[in-house]
Amino acid sequence: MRPLRFIGSTSDKTGCPAIFEDEQTGEIVIQGVEITDSDTRKQMYGYSPGETLIVVPRELITRFAPRS
């Protein structure tokens, strides 16, 4: 099990979209709506079995992305 730390959400913690951090690895985990439309998926490349595509509102990233 990944120990996840909640970073933020544009839905006020009531569901997706949301961003979490894996407390052991530092990896970022994104919760969002899966893209299942086959025409949209055909446009994507370079993803492997077990991976999926999700929609993340720009606001979620701009609000919670670290600033350097």
Residues 6-58 have pLDDT tens digits of 998 988 766 789 999 999 999 999 999 999 998 998 888 887 888 888 998 88
Give the model's pLDDT for residue 13: 62
- Domain of residue 36 covers 4-64
Which of 42, 51, 55, 8 has the alpha carbon at shortest distance from 28? 8
Give the model's pLDDT for residue 44: 85
Please state the domain count of the chain.
Answer: 1
Distance CA 45, CA 50 (A): 14
Model pTM?
0.78
